[in-house]
Amino acid sequence: MGALTEPQFGEFYRGTARALWTYVYRVTGNAADADDLVQDAFCRMLAADVDALNDEDRRRYLFRVASNLVADRWRRGERERSWRERAGLVKPSSTAPVDTPTALTFGALKPQQRALLWLAYVEENSHEDIAAALGVKRGSVKVLLARARARLKALLTTKAVW
């Protein structure tokens, strides 16, 4: 199989972009970041040697790239925030406000926990696909998902009085 033609890429993009953007937005909680990261993920996919992959494998590859970009952005943001706080330039920050109680609760999870839950229960990916997308061992996915569900449950039960 050769490189994707423009019409093939357009069809792949239309079939994948919305789900990828929604995933990245739910993990980051920021629409502008989601726009940037999705664009970057598609650009990286186009630059990568993925010609031999079928559409489903390209989709998995794209979600993995996006997950890595989210993690990189989160780590960079944490380092910058920590540096500013230590330098006394800003007060310690809290999570950015989100509109609904459910979004607030989901936003209180760590990015990896949000990604795990989203990929497992919204995208309905297998543990193997989740492991590939997040760069963790397949055997770890079950444990990480259990911890993420427990954390979400704890957040939901402590915030039950909305």
More confidently predicted of 79 and 71? 71
H-type alpha helices, the chain = 6-28, 31-47, 55-86, 101-107, 111-117, 127-134, 138-158
Q: What is the per-residue DSSP string for 79-104?
A: HHHHHHHHTTSSPPP-PPP-SSHHHH
- pTM score > 0.75 for this model? no
Contacts of 2 (CB under 8 A, 6+ apart): 51
The pLDDT, as a whole number, for residue 68 is: 85
Among 14-18, 134-138, 158-162, name the one with the lowest average pLDDT.
Answer: 158-162
Let me know: does 116 contact 140? Beta carbons within 8 Å. Answer: no
The pLDDT, as a whole number, for residue 95 is: 45
CA separation for the pair 138, 148 (Å, rounded): 16
The pLDDT, as a whole number, for residue 97 is: 42
The pLDDT, as a whole number, for residue 115 is: 85
| CATH architecture of the domain formed by 96-162 | Orthogonal Bundle (1.10)
Q: Using alpha carbons, select from 34, 38, 78 the residue that is nearest to residue 59.
A: 38
CA separation for the pair 11, 13 (Å, rounded): 5
CA separation for the pair 86, 125 (Å, rounded): 40
Q: What is the dihedral of CA 143, 146, 152, 155, to 10 degrees?
A: -90
With a pLDDT cut of 70, the percent of the chain lying above it is: 78
Q: How far is CA 44 from CA 47, 62, 101, in A?
A: 5, 8, 35
**Range list for CATH 1.10.10.10 in the chain:** 96-162
Confidence of residue 40 (pLDDT cuts 50, 70, 90): very high
